[in-house]
Amino acid sequence: MHFVSLCFPFAGRGPTWGWHPSPGNVLLLLLLPFLGSEVHAPGQAACGPQLTNSPTVIVMVGLPARGKTYISKKLTRYLNWIGVPTKVFNVGEYRREAVKHYSSYDFFRPDNEEAMKVRKQCALAALRDVKVYLSEEGGQIAVFDATNTTRERRSMILHFAKENGFKVFFIESVCNDPTVVATNIMEVKLSSPDYKDCNSNDAMEDFMKRISCYQSSYQPLDPDDYDRELSLIKVIDVGRRYLVNRVQDHIQSRIVYYLMNIHVQPRTIYLCRHGESESNLKGRIGGDSGLSIRGKKFSIALKHFVQEQNLKDLKVWTSQLKRTIQTAEALDMPYEQWKALNEIDAGVCEEMTYDEIKEKYPEEFILRDQDKYYYRYPSGESYQDLVQRLEPVIMELERQENVLVICHQAVMRCLLAYFLDKSAEEMPYLKCPLHTVLKLTPVAYGCRVESISLNVEAVNTHRDRPEDAKKGPNTLMRRNSVTPLASPEPTKKPRINSFEEHVAAAAAASAALPTICMPPEVPTQPLLGKACLT
């Protein structure tokens, strides 16, 4: 193994920082099971292999309370929704698993060597699970959610990715607005398990001191010089400004585009179906029929509901089908028509009842019950096709403030699945009844949903998942390609056994090093519970 002595400026000013091999640099040595026999200068590490479809590790960077976990979870929800299996690996969860009782910010002080060892080991345990997920469990993207504020830590991740054939994309969240930081702490951090038994004032004071512990060693990404070879995006002041560097593939482009469309301003999204249609009364799917008498009553009730909400600059979107347009006309306000919001195309089954489909196309009827998300109607669409069609709608919804979307059952299910983080398997069976408005309010790490019935009777068009339906491969054979299901559990739960296994492996590997490279003894599990005591 070769060590390289480096000197580099910190953010272009201040003292010169240096990296030198020493017993305290245990992090690099503990990584030996992941690394080859040679260590290069951190700034020269590549961002991963040249293979187009290699798995990707998204590395979050930034001080605490800068929205990293918010971005991680929101991005993971989007990627899973479009069919890219993705999971979040939050190092803080690994730390809480290893250290059961948090005492104070002292645990994060850079001179707390015992705690530093534990934090490094937790990061390594998380990386080990990243490797398992991307190499053995069919994952395509792993989001490594931690501060990663030093070049040493980021270099470790780059070498880990290189040795395992993974691409790396960095997302750094920079926020210098004290109001935004304070709001984030109050809304999210004070309710974390770390401050379970603390009052808000003490918790706020402790967390601000925790941030100070990171600030002393924070080395921001430097795309103009030191990190010019890295693929990254800097999100500055909650989307006021972006800096993008070396985007290298399609998925990175989609990630950048998504991040540049989201915002954190308070807003409300209303989803509802059109009023009951004549085809609904007859039990027929698809078509372009007008509203029934009860459907027209609903449109009037919807008008009163919108007026009661007293929303400023509410935008109304509909499909290009008659029943949604008639529903919006009653509102007496401008509305936009989206072809992308049209109902799922049932192909040869358009305007048929389910009984007629079962009689005329019995095989198709069975196939759809076997796998409703992937099943595509002959000459029509599948739910997966519908998700791809609706992606521009999601992007625009993320950009907007208050919006009312008047759409259709399958379309509403797809949109709702995105906001509620539902899997592809759950999506086609979400309940979206007629004459009911769903009020969606984005919150810190998710979305709050309120179901509001406007008390106008309507037929029930929901069809439950058949209990006796058996999955088969025939549905997928109709497709040109097969896309794996998104991760049903988008947040990776830390496994303490993997933590122990990796510490043992790291200790064994470090024992074989020359004496000059030996790190201090690796603490065992009983030590972890005491690591935060000072």
Task: Please tell me what DSSP assigns to residue 491.
Answer: B
Rg for the chain, CA atoms, rounded:
26
Q: How far is CA 43 from CA 6, 8, 233, in A?
A: 10, 10, 17
Q: Which of 279, 419, 247, 281 is nearest to 346 (CA)?
A: 279
- Spatial neighbors of 121 by CB under 8 A, at least 6 apart, are 30, 98, 499, 502, 503, 506, 522, 523
Sign of the CA dihedral running 312, 318, 322, 327 = negative
Would you please indicate which residues are annotated as catalytic (active-site) residues?
Answer: 274, 343
- Spatial neighbors of 239 by CB under 8 A, at least 6 apart, are 259, 260, 262, 263, 264
In the three-class reduction of DSSP (H, G, I as helix; E, B as strand; rest coil), residue 353 is classed as: strand
Bridge partner list, 91: none
Give the residue numbers of the binding site for substrate: 273-280, 323
Question: Distance (Å, rounded) from C-alpha 358 to C-alpha 352?
Answer: 10
- Spatial neighbors of 234 by CB under 8 A, at least 6 apart, are 172, 174, 221, 223, 242, 243, 244
Bridge partner list, 233: 171, 244
Question: What count of other Cβ atoms lies within 10 Å of the Cβ of residue 187?
Answer: 14
Give the residue numbers of the binding site: 273-280, 323
